[in-house]
Chains A and B, each alone.
Chain A
Amino acid sequence: MSEIRVEKLRHVYSAGTPFEKVAIEDVSLTIPQGQLVGIIGHTGSGKSTFIQHLNALLQPTEGKVFCGGEDVNASKFTRRDVKWKVGIVFQYPEYQLFEETVYRDIAFGPKNMKLSEQEIDERVREAAHFAGVDEELFERSPLELSGGQKRRIAVAGVIALRPGVLILDEPTAGLDPAGCRRILDNICEYHRQSGSTVIIVSHNMDDTARIAERIIAFDHGRVAMDGTPEQIFSEPEKLEAMGLDVPKSTSLAMALKAEGLPLEGSIYTHAQLLDAILRVKEAAPC
């Protein structure tokens, strides 16, 4: 299993130089197998540094990272091994495509795992299916496709590793609303079918509120909030103090309450807002 456990993590960039900067300070948390986690925080809050520790791309200055109970930095081999367990899709991943065909680009990861041709083929097709890449595109050059298609190919390239934990850094950045919806739907579907842990780093509160089971907010390199969406969005003042927005439904609900409408329950998605308003109507004496 791929439970992630982080203990007293600290990371300092350029230690010992005048550019020394503490990026992560005293972070301890556990992410059980199968959770869909949203990580929020403004730029420079340490969330990108944090995720790169989970597959040993960065090594902690202090503290430990465990994946499936094993210290990922125990040796050169565990550091390499964890790459297959924890897959990261970086921001603007379309810029990392390099192969001549879509198929070969998705196959790059499995090939590095030294799998058999047959297994590679199986994984490429499965990953393409999950990421919403049409098999008709397999022989095309990734460079001539649209931005949204390239993004999905890059996501497929990481899913093809069959990681127990899939991390996506701003998967919807720069896409139009239709492209955003499509990629998020694919990710949720992947989460449901594969049972993998999925961690999404995002600036978009509405999307995060809608899909995440658990939200972790980073601020100044520390975990400032950690809980269910209900818990997180019931404290909008705290989010605003960190320079973060609340979902639009939440702020609209606050405006409605200010107008004297007795909305009940926590509201952070559009469906909840509509529901709460309709419940007010039913409860009202006619």
Chain B
Amino acid sequence: MSIISFRQVHYTYPGDELESLCGVDLEIEEGEFVAVLGHNGSGKSTLAKHMNAILVPDSGTVLIEGIDSRDEDKTFEIRRRVGMVFQNPDNQIVANVVEDDVAFAPENLGVPSEEIRARVDAALKQVGMYEYRTHAPHLLSGGQKQRVAIAGVIAMQPKIIVLDEPTAMLDPQGREEVLSTVTRLCREKGMTVVFITHHMDECVGADKLVIMSNGYIKAVGTPAEIFADVEMMAREGLSVPETTKLLYELRNLGYELPLDALDEQSCAAAIANAMKKQTRS
């Protein structure tokens, strides 16, 4: 069974005329790193907010480990399983001291004091912020704040972590910090990660890539499969990695090239190969 499953989910914000989700079907498996890519207003944040019952569908169902998100008695069961990290790091940190902030969720869950201490220390170590545990959050860099926010949700010991454009307000260094932290949580701790972004380079390492547009899911597949459809990506106003773009253009010029060489190394190798073949023939 999928750990998250959307079935024909429709949602319209109160007061809006247009639907924000227009019949979304999506299955996410345990331990997967899923990236969701789409332009502003494509419905990707709305999708994220359905994953921990901040929003519930107007029609259709969202199941988290089999729990229906519309069951109000189970709301906290769902939120404990799905940690959410949001775009603006300043607006999700609640305490004046880093470790107190990380303790917030376990305190809400009524975890005994000694265990909270242990969880907080472990969570801070996992995101590499343990040395900063007594610092004031407003003096940290953007990337550090987001890592504190990530620690704040892993202290709940969730199975799934959903990040809603966590890198949009960060500089390149901060983006790298956040991406490598969640990638490690997924690969080493087996956490399921849903990573929402509009930076396509951040999706390259994902297991599954979901393209959203105007409330619909346009495509689901591996990044290599999705990016290979350069025309579709262009239609959606999204860019493709430099590697894919180059391969695509050279292919249109008559070279025999694969479109799924995403990283620089394999892309360069493929091009060099094709060029040599061309010269020989």
Contact = CB atoms under 8 A, between A and B. Distances in A.
B265 interface: yes
Nearest to A245: B172
A37 to B, nearest CB: 20
A259 B272 contact: yes
B246 A270 contact: yes
Contacts of B245: 270
B271 A203 contact: no
A273 B40 CA distance: 30
Interface in B255-281: 264-265, 267-269, 271-272, 275, 278-279
Given A148-B40, A261-B275, A176 B237 contact: yes
Contacts of A175: 40
B279 A286 contact: yes
A285 B279 CA distance: 7
Contacts of B268: 252, 255-256, 258-259, 261
A249 B272 contact: no
Given A146-B41, A175-B40, A176-B237, A259 B271 contact: yes
A277 B275 CA distance: 9
A173 interface: yes
Contacts of B246: 252, 270, 273-274, 277
B75 interface: no
B249 A274 contact: yes
A174 B264 contact: no
B169 interface: yes
Nearest to B250: A277
Interface in B82-141: 141
Contacts of A256: 268, 271-272
B39 interface: yes
Nearest to B39: A176
B239 interface: yes
Interface in B155-207: 168-169, 171-174, 198, 200
Contacts, number: 83
A245 to B, nearest CB: 6
A178 B39 contact: yes
Interface in A227-251: 243-245, 248-249, 251
Interface residues of A, number: 36
B243 interface: yes
A163 B246 CA distance: 39
A203 B39 contact: no
A18 interface: no
Most buried by A among B200, B239, B243: B239
Interface size band for B:
20 to 34
A260 B141 CA distance: 41
B40 A147 contact: yes
Contact of B242 (A147, A249, A259, A284): A249
B173 A42 contact: yes
A249 B249 CA distance: 14
A281 interface: yes
A177 interface: yes
Contacts of B239: 177
A181 B271 CA distance: 28
A284 B141 contact: no
Interface in A268-286: 270, 273-274, 277-278, 280-281, 284-286
B22 interface: no
B242 A270 contact: yes
Interface in A139-167: 146-148
B238 interface: yes
Contacts of A273: 246
B238 A177 contact: yes
Nearest to B268: A255
A274 B253 CA distance: 11
A243 B173 CA distance: 8
Most buried by B among A42, A174, A176: A176
Contacts of A278: 253
A43 interface: yes
A226 B269 CA distance: 34
A255 B40 contact: no
Interface in A22-55: 42-43
Contact of A252 (B173, B200, B243): B243
Interface of B: 39-41, 141-142, 168-169, 171-174, 198, 200, 237-239, 241-243, 245-246, 249-250, 253, 264-265, 267-269, 271-272, 275, 278-279
Interface of A: 42-43, 146-148, 173-179, 203, 243-245, 248-249, 251-252, 255-256, 258-261, 270, 273-274, 277-278, 280-281, 284-286
Given A176-B40, A252-B268, A256-B272, 14 more contacts: A146-B40, A175-B40, A177-B238, A177-B239, A178-B237, A248-B242, A249-B242, A252-B246, A255-B267, A258-B268, A259-B268, A259-B271, A270-B246, A281-B278
10 contacts: A42-B172, A177-B237, A178-B39, A178-B237, A203-B171, A244-B172, A252-B267, A255-B267, A261-B275, A277-B246
